[in-house]
Amino acid sequence: MLKAVVLLRRKNDLTVDQFIDHYENRHVPLVREVLPTIGRYVRNYLDHTSVSAGRQEGDAPTPYFDVITELWFEDEAAYQAFVAALSDPEVSRRLQEDEERFLDRSIVQTYPVREYVA
């Protein structure tokens, strides 16, 4: 199982609720349509309403992102098909057009990770 973690921030003119609504109800269905080899697709939204939201220990910076997205792939072949689909100009255009509606694309960060579960 392969996994990538993506850190994303909403556009400044969107509320958290508007951001989540767009991501869940418009972007997720689009991603599922054009990138079918993604297996598990998890969005972990920061809780901005919690009393301790934004509180960090020591000198840790306040998070600059609103969601941690997890993309799971069954195997290397599924991941390579995902990469190939992203290279398709029509797929890329559709994703970017939608992302412009709700994401601050200047800080999108993607990290391949290894997950360990106790």
DSSP single-letter state for residue 23? I
pTM equals: 0.87
Phi, psi of 69 (to 5 degrees): -100, 135
Residue 7 lies in a domain: yes
Residue 58 lies in a domain: no
pLDDT (tens, 9 = 90+) of the chain, 118 residues, equals 899 999 999 999 999 999 999 999 999 999 999 999 999 999 999 987 764 555 556 777 778 999 999 999 999 999 999 999 999 999 999 999 999 999 999 999 999 998 898 8
Number of domains within the chain = 1
Domain of residue 32 covers 2-48+63-113
Residue 54 lies in a domain: no
**The domain that contains 10 carries what CATH number?**
3.30.70.100
Residue 118 lies in a domain: no
Residue 56 lies in a domain: no
